[in-house]
Amino acid sequence: MSSNNLKIIIVLMLTSIVAIKSFSQENYFKISGQYRARTELRNGYRTLMTDSSKTAFFTGQRARLIFDYKKDNIQMFSSIQDARTWGDEEQKKDLAGLQVNELWMELNLKQGFALKMGRQELAYDDHRLFGNLDWANLTISHDALLLKYTDDKNKFKWHLGGAFNQVGEPIFGTTYALKNYKALGFSWVKKEFNKGHSLSGIAIVNGMNSIVTSNTKLKATYTFGPLYNYNFNGRKGILGAYYQGGKTESNLNQSAFMINAYGEKKIKKIAFGLGADYLSGNKDNTSATANNSFSTLYATNHKFYGYMDYFLNIPTDTKQRGLMDLYARVGYTPSKTISASLDLHHFSLANENNLGINKIKKSLGNEVDILIDYKPSSIIHLQLGYSLLFATKNMEYIKGGNANDFNTWAYLMLKVSPTLFYNEFKK
C-alpha cells in the first residue's frame, strides 16, 4: 500500500471522528465492510475456445471499507476499495491498488429536494441504461451532480443529473483524452401506482469527443423512453422501449431503438418467466453516414444477456449488427436461505449481414445458466454458477474461435458484508 493511499484512509477516519465530536444532533455514524472473492474456471467465457486454447483458472477479490455519516440534512458517504487478482503482483513489489469507488455528499433541501454531488454510482430502473455493474470487481462510478425530488405521499420521484469530465486542472482549453464521456446529462422520473404498478421514464444526453475532427469537438447522442413495471401477488411484468438519436463520436447520424419485455408467475416456491429483448443494428445497405446500432451506454448487461458475457459491450460485441435475445427462466426457493435458478437464452443478430466475405445468418447459439444461492445470515452470501454455450457457426464470425469446442464457465463466489461500527444519536 502506498503512502498516498494510507493517507486517504487516515483522513477519512479522522474526518469521521471529528464529525462525531463536532455535532450534537447526529442521526448516525456507520462503518461497514465488504469482502468478496470469486474463483472462476473459464473455458469459453466472453469468446469461443480455439483448438489451442487452455482453460483459465484464477481468483479475484474486492475489499471495501465504507463510511456513512448523516446529521439532519447532511449525509457524507465514502467507499474505499482494493480490487485485485490473487498473485498478480510480485510480493516484493506490491503496487498500490486502492481506489475511491464512491465519495459523495448529499444535502437535503426543503420541500422534498436534495442535492447530491461527488463520485457516485448511478443505477436506474432495471439497469438497462444506467447500472453500477456490481458483478465486476471495479464497478461503474460517475463524478456527477444530482438534483433529486421525492414526494412520498404521491409516490413520485424525479432526478436531474449532469457531469463534465476533465483530466487534471488545465490552464487553457477543455481537451479530454480519455474514452469516457466528456459531458453527460439525464433526467429520470418514476410514479408508483396501487397494486404494484409503476411507470418511469428516462432521457440521457451522452456527449463524446469526436474521433473524426479533434477531441475538443463534442458529439452527442440522446436516448429516451418509458419503462412499465408490475410486481404484485406473485406476478411480475416489465415492458420498456427506448429510442436513440443524435451524432456519434464518428460523426454518424444515430437512429436506433431497443425493446424489452418480461413476464413472470410464481406458484408456491417456483417462479416461471419468459422474456425478449430486441436491439436494432446495422444492415448491409445501411448508409455510410448512418448508424442504426443501439448502444446500451452504462448498463449492467451481465444481468440480461447471459452470464457468460458474450454481449457485455453492445454494440461492439455484435459488430454493430444488433441483437435478439429470447429467454426463459425458472426459479426455485425451497427456503429463506437457499434459492436456485435456470436461465435459457437463444441469441440472434437483429439482421442477416455480410461480414467481409462471410454471409452469416441471424442465429448465434444458445446459453444455459445455472445459479445456486446460499445465504445463511444477513452478512454472508455464497453463490455457485455454471454456464454452457452452444454456439452456431455464425458466432465464430462475431466472436472468433471454434463453435464446435466445448464452451463453458463456472465460478464460486463468497461475499461477506459486516457492520463494523454503528452509533445512532438522538436529536
Written as nine digits, the cell of 210 is 469526436
Q: How many CB atoms within 10 Å of residue 363?
A: 17
Residues in the chain, overall count: 427
> Could you give the 3-state DSSP secondary structure of residue 403?
coil
> Could you give the 3-state DSSP secondary structure of residue 83?
strand
| Nearest of 218, 118, 224, 217 to residue 161 by alpha carbon | 118
State the pTM of this model.
0.89
What are 10-16's contacts with CB under 8 Å, separation 24+? 12/67, 12/78, 12/80, 13/67, 16/67, 16/69
State how far the Cα of 219 lies from the Cα of 202, in Å rounded to an integer. 20
State how far the Cα of 401 lies from the Cα of 398, in Å rounded to an integer. 9
Residue 270 CB partners (closer than 8 Å, separation 6+): 330, 331, 332
> Could you give the 3-state DSSP secondary structure of residue 397?
helix
DSSP 191-236: EE-GGGEEEEEEEEEEEEE-SSS-TTSEEEEEEEEEEEEEEETTEE
| Nearest of 28, 99, 14 to residue 64 by alpha carbon | 99
- What confidence tens digit (pLDDT) does each residue in 396-405 have? 888 889 998 8
141 residue type, one letter: S
State how far the Cα of 116 lies from the Cα of 105, in Å rounded to an integer. 6
Which domains does the chain carry? 3-424 (2.40.160.100)
| Nearest of 255, 304, 253, 296 to residue 276 by alpha carbon | 304
State how far the Cα of 91 lies from the Cα of 98, in Å rounded to an integer. 17
Written as nine digits, the cell of 356 is 467481409
CB-based contact 132:149 (threshold 8 Å): no
State how far the Cα of 312 lies from the Cα of 229, in Å rounded to an integer. 24
Work out whether strand 74-85 and strand 98-108 pair parallel, antiparallel, or are unpaired: antiparallel
Q: Determine the Cα angle at 173 with ends 167 and 177, to 5°.
A: 40
Q: How many CB atoms within 10 Å of residue 424?
A: 10
State how far the Cα of 66 lies from the Cα of 104, in Å rounded to an integer. 12
Q: How many CB atoms within 10 Å of residue 65?
A: 18
Q: How many CB atoms within 10 Å of residue 181?
A: 24
Q: How many CB atoms within 10 Å of residue 212?
A: 11
DSSP conformational letter for 23: -
| Nearest of 211, 221, 148, 213 to residue 183 by alpha carbon | 221
What tens-digit pLDDT sequence spans the chain (427 residues)?
A: 455 555 555 555 554 444 444 434 468 999 999 999 999 999 999 999 998 899 999 999 999 999 999 998 999 999 999 999 999 888 777 666 788 999 999 999 989 999 999 999 999 999 999 999 999 999 999 999 999 999 999 999 999 999 999 988 888 888 788 889 999 999 999 999 999 999 999 999 999 988 776 556 789 999 999 999 999 999 999 999 999 999 999 999 999 999 999 999 999 999 999 999 999 999 888 888 999 999 999 999 999 999 999 999 999 999 999 999 999 999 999 999 999 999 999 999 998 766 555 566 789 999 999 999 999 999 999 999 999 999 998 898 888 899 988 999 999 999 999 999 999 987 6
The predicted structure's pLDDT at residue 172: 86
Q: How many CB atoms within 10 Å of residue 193?
A: 10
State how far the Cα of 75 lies from the Cα of 39, in Å rounded to an integer. 36
| Nearest of 291, 368, 294 to residue 324 by alpha carbon | 294
